[in-house]
């Protein structure tokens, strides 16, 4: 048996059966296929309030490596952005000192 559980102290989930609840739990039988498991997990995420504009799917290992490369590039760009913001802030402070 596979169990998906999401608990939140911050917000309540709407339940048509019991009113607002702070816990979403879903169980899937262990003899389910991977596609059944993936479909159940999709419904679980939606039940937790996540919005998806597409479908979950399995990816090949080569595609995973490409996604990892893209993720690493995004992280590097975020670091560069943070550094640039700090430089801009320092330049603005110097400008104010001059004026």
Same domain for 66 and 41? no
Q: Residue 7 has which token pair?
A: 């608990």
The whole-angstrom separation of Cα 19 and Cα 14 is 6
Same domain for 38 and 68? no
Same domain for 37 and 71? no
Q: What is the pLDDT of residues 61-93, one digit of tens each?
A: 666 677 778 888 899 999 999 999 999 999 999
Q: Does a structural domain hold residue 6? A: yes
Q: Does a structural domain hold residue 30? A: yes
Structurally, the chain folds into a number of domains equal to: 2
Same domain for 68 and 89? yes
Structural domain including 81 reads 59-99
Same domain for 63 and 98? yes
Residue from 26, 76, 94 nearest 68 by CA: 76
Q: What is the pLDDT of residues 21-67, one digit of tens each?
A: 667 777 888 888 888 888 888 887 777 777 777 776 766 766 667 77
**φ and ψ at residue 90, rounded to 5 degrees:** -65, -40
In Å, how far are 14, 19, 29, 56, 77 from 42, measured between CA atoms? Answer: 17, 22, 15, 7, 30
């Amino acid at each position: 048996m596979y169990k998906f559980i999401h608990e939140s102290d911050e917000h309540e989930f709407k339940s048509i059966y019991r009113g607002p609840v702070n816990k979403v739990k879903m169980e899937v039988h262990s003899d389910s296929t991977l596609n059944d498991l993936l479909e159940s997990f999709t419904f679980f995420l939606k039940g937790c309030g996540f919005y998806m504009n597409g479908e979950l799917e399995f990816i090949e290992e080569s595609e995973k490596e490409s996604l990892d490369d893209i993720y690493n590039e995004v992280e590097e760009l975020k670091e560069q952005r943070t550094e640039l913001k700090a430089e801009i802030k320092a330049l603005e402070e110097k400008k104010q000192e001059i004026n």
